[in-house]
Copies of this chain bind each other. A is one copy, B any other.
Amino acid sequence: MESEVSLAAGNRASSLTLTVMNRYVLNLKGIPYKTEWVEYPDIESRWKELGIPHTSLKPDGSPFYTVPAIHDPSTGVYLSESIDIAEYLDKTYPDTPCMFPHNTLGLLSPFNDLVGSYLAALWQFIVPVVCVRLNPASQGYFRTTREAIFGKNMDDVVPKGDLVTTEWAKVKEGMGKVDVLYSKTNGPYLMGDALSWGDVVVAAHLAFMRAIWGEDSQEWRDISSWHDGRWKRVVDDFEKYATVV
C-alpha cells in the first residue's frame, strides 16, 4: 500500500453503525487509514465529484449515495457499501485477517439485513437521540429523511407510555434471536473460534447503541444485563479495534 486508505464516514456525532463496521475491519486488518467526516447533505455532491458509485436507488429511481465509502490510493479504488468494502479489503490485502473465513461471503451477505430485521423495533429508540446529537449542518437533512421513513414527526418517533415497555421488549426479543445464533457454537464468535463479518456486524450495532445512549444510560444497562451478559462481552472484545483514526 503506497499510502493510507481514506474512510469517509458520516457525521462524527452520529458515528453510524455501518461506519463502525468498516472502522473495526480496517483496525482489525491493521491497514493504516484516516477518517474524513462528511455532513449528510454533502454526501451526494462529494461522491459524484469523486466518482464513488451509488449504493442503491431511491424510490424515485435516482441514485442513492451513502456512507461509509473508502478511497484506496494504492489501487485508485473508490468504493461504498460496508460489506463490499470488507470484501474488497479481504481480496486486496490477503495477508490480513479475513472477514469471511472458509468462503462464508455468501452466507454472511444477508447477515446485516437479518440483524436489522431482528432489531426492527430498535431504531425508534435510537433515531431521535441521533437527531439531536448531529451537527446543525446534518440535522435538517437527517430529520426530513427519517421523518419520511417513519411517517411521523421526529418527536413522535420514540415510543411513549405503555409502548415503551412493549417495544423495548421487542428489542430484547430481537437480541435474543442473535443470542440463539451465538449459542449454536462454543464461541466466543458466531463461527466459534473464528472472528468473522458476523461478529463485526453485531459488535458495531452494540457499539453504536452504547455510544448513542451512553454507558450509564438505563438502555445500555438493560442490554448489558441481557443474555447472560453476552452483549457487553462482545462489544468489549471489539474495543481494541474501535480506535477512531
In the complex, whether A216 has a CB less than 8 A from a CB of chain B is: no
Q: How large is the interface on A (under 10, 10 to 19, 20 to 34, 35 or more residues)?
A: 20 to 34
A→B interface (CB under 8 Å): 101-111, 114, 180-185, 190-194, 198
Closest 10 pairs between A and B when the two form their complex, measured CB to CB: A103-B192, A106-B184, A102-B102, A106-B181, A105-B184, A103-B191, A103-B185, A107-B107, A106-B190, A106-B185
Q: How far is the CA of A54 from the CA of B181 in the complex (A)?
A: 21
Q: How far is the CA of A107 from the CA of B194 in the complex (A)?
A: 12
Q: How far is the CA of A108 from the CA of B181 in the complex (A)?
A: 9
Q: How far is the CA of A101 from the CA of B106 in the complex (A)?
A: 14
List 9 interface pairs A-B (beta carbons < 8 Å), by A numbering. A101-B102, A103-B185, A103-B193, A104-B104, A105-B184, A106-B185, A107-B181, A107-B198, A114-B114
How many copies of the chain does the oligomer comprise?
2
Interface centre among A108, A182, A184, A185 (most CB of B within 10 A): A184
- Binding site secondary structure of chain A: mixed
Q: How far is the CA of A104 from the CA of B109 in the complex (A)?
A: 14
Whether A106 and B193, one on each chain, are in contact in the complex, defined by CB atoms closer than 8 angstroms, is no
Whether A104 and B103, one on each chain, are in contact in the complex, defined by CB atoms closer than 8 angstroms, is no
Q: Hey, which chain B residues are within 8 Å of A101, CB to CB?
A: 102
Q: Hey, which chain B residues are within 8 Å of A183, CB to CB?
A: 106
Nearest neighbor of A108 in chain B, beta-carbon distance: B107
Partner of A110, one of B104, B106, B181, B185: B181
Q: How far is the CA of A134 from the CA of B191 in the complex (A)?
A: 41
Whether B191 and A109, one on each chain, are in contact in the complex, defined by CB atoms closer than 8 angstroms, is no
Nearest neighbor of A198 in chain B, beta-carbon distance: B107
Q: Hey, which chain B residues are within 8 Å of A192, CB to CB?
A: 103
Q: How far is the CA of A109 from the CA of B106 in the complex (A)?
A: 14
Partner of A194, one of B102, B109, B110, B180: B102
Q: How far is the CA of A109 from the CA of B177 in the complex (A)?
A: 10
Besides the contacts A107-B181, A107-B190, what 20 more A-B pairs have beta carbons closer than 8 Å? A102-B102, A102-B194, A103-B185, A103-B191, A103-B192, A103-B193, A103-B194, A104-B104, A104-B107, A105-B184, A106-B182, A106-B183, A106-B184, A106-B185, A106-B198, A107-B107, A107-B108, A107-B198, A109-B181, A114-B114
